[in-house]
Amino acid sequence: MIEMRPQDIHACIVRIEGTNNEDEMYRAFKNVGATPHLVHLNELKTLDPYQCIMIPGGFSAGDYVRAGAIFASRIRSRLFDELLDFVDHGYPVGGICNGFQVLVELGLLPGDGEPGEVTACLAENDSARFECRHSLLLRTPSNPCAFTSRLPEGERLMVPSAHAEGKLLLAGGIRAYKRIEERGQVLFKYVNYANETEAPYPWNPNGSPHNIAGICNEKGNVFGMMPHPERAFDIENENGYAGRTLFESLIRYIGETF
């Protein structure tokens, strides 16, 4: 099997009115050699040309009703069955910040219910205000994930956070958090410089239980996180890892899988 060349990997960055991080995401894919496409949902007729679907951050449809809810509803009405097939075939689908909220509203994350069943939400920050600050993230032990395969467990990233609704609440309560931990679905946790994974505010900017900052589905091809790696694409830590590493991981996954 011949591995796909990065330039042959077409990433669809889906936007609607109110999204505002699509340009940063476009540049991130461009800088790792892929071929990104900015596509408004109203113009997205089929997913066939793409090997990756990404939903960027922002305030889609003004975040009315709930953050990401209207964007998710519009996806359901247009392409949801095709999106489910896309995921079933192993293609990666990712969401950053508002995109994470959309994937939760679609029931694709944490993905432990029936197809399309919503089993979580990203609730209002404990501070009851918009939080804009750098967050220190710990790469936790998890399933092989399309977005983190090149980032070793235990590595830390300093990544900007900017959200008002980032507290991950799971419908099953304590058992649900234990389940996603045991299934290796937790990708990142907010930590302090002592690597304490229950570090309080402001290290955890939203009050998310167990300091969860990002998760994937059990298969590892659907992923979401609240902080913005596309805004930290060229920010390196002492080991050279940056937001770039996550996009490189994604391109490698696609190239080796399809």
Q: What CATH number corresponds to the domain at position 93?
A: 3.40.50.880
In the block, tokens 């209002």 appear at 124
Residues 6+ apart with CB under 8 A from 131: 125, 161, 162, 163, 164, 166, 202, 205, 206
Its domain, for residue 135, covers: 6-257
Q: Which residues pair with 93 in a beta bridge?
A: 53, 222
Judge contact between 13 and 94, C-beta under 8 A. no
Q: Taking each helix axis from N to C terminus, what angle separates 98-105 and 69-88, rounded to the nearest 10 degrees?
A: 70
Q: Count the domains in the chain.
A: 1
Catalytic residue among 22, 165, 230, 248, which?
Answer: 230
Judge contact between 207 and 126, C-beta under 8 A. yes
Q: List strand residue ranges (DSSP E) for the chain, in order.
A: 10-15, 35-40, 52-55, 93-96, 120-123, 131-139, 156-163, 167-170, 186-190, 212-216, 222-225
Catalytic residue among 24, 131, 210, 228, which?
Answer: 228
Omega of the bond leading into 115 within 30 degrees of 0 (cis): no
Q: What pLDDT score does 171 carry?
A: 95
Q: Is residue 1 part of a domain?
A: no
Catalytic residue among 97, 121, 145, 216, which?
Answer: 97
Q: Which residues pair with 215 in a beta bridge?
A: 186, 224
Q: Does the annotation count 228 as an active-site position?
A: yes
CA angle 43, 46, 51 (to 5 degrees): 110
Q: Does the annotation count 37 as an active-site position?
A: no
Per-residue pLDDT of the chain (258 residues; tens, 9 = 90+): 567 898 999 999 999 999 999 999 999 999 999 999 999 999 999 999 999 999 999 999 999 889 999 999 999 999 999 999 999 999 999 999 999 999 999 999 999 989 999 999 999 999 999 999 999 999 999 989 999 999 999 999 999 999 999 999 999 999 999 999 999 999 999 999 999 999 999 999 999 999 999 999 999 999 999 999 999 998 887 666 789 999 999 999 999 999
